[in-house]
A = this chain, B = another copy of it.
Amino acid sequence: MTQTATRETALKEAEAACLRRGATLTPLRRQVLELVLDADAPVGAYALLDRLKATRPGAAPPTVYRALDFLLEQGLIHKLERLNAYIGCTDAGHGHAHDHHHPHQFLICRTCGATTEITDHGVAHAIEAAARRAGFALAEATVEIEGTCARCLA
């Protein structure tokens, strides 16, 4: 399965997921999603804006931020808080497509920048347990693990 194929699959699933929820993946939003998916690493909003301007000269910061907000809301992308950058959700459509906000974690390589989304239930459960012990009602957890990826270690 080629990269392009997985991208097309992801886009189709995104359309479907939005439809199910009564949300609209407009051409603009779809284009921003494509730009995020095309990048091979997390992308900043202004990098997206630059690329967007190639085909949409009038684009401005709110253009891209509004699209990003929508995509975040729909769970189609995630924000990496440490990097102020955005990345496509790897799990969208693979198991819990209808979950807007599934628990997830990121592995961020400081050497090559590669960023991998994982869904580790051990981590998720440990966080739930810690919150429960503190009498804290968990809404969402940000987990960003920085270090060196397997490729860079080899």
Contact = CB atoms under 8 A, between A and B. Distances in A.
Interface stretch (A11-19, A33-41, A86-94, A136-144): A136-144
A146 B153 contact: no
Nearest to A79: B82
A59 interface: no
B144 A131 contact: no
A118 interface: yes
Contact of A145 (B110, B141, B146): B141
A147 interface: yes
A142 B143 contact: yes
Interface size class of A (residues with CB under 8 A): 35 or more
Contacts of A109: 136
Contacts of A125: 126
B105 A142 contact: no
A51 B149 CA distance: 41
A81 B141 CA distance: 12
A120 B123 CA distance: 11
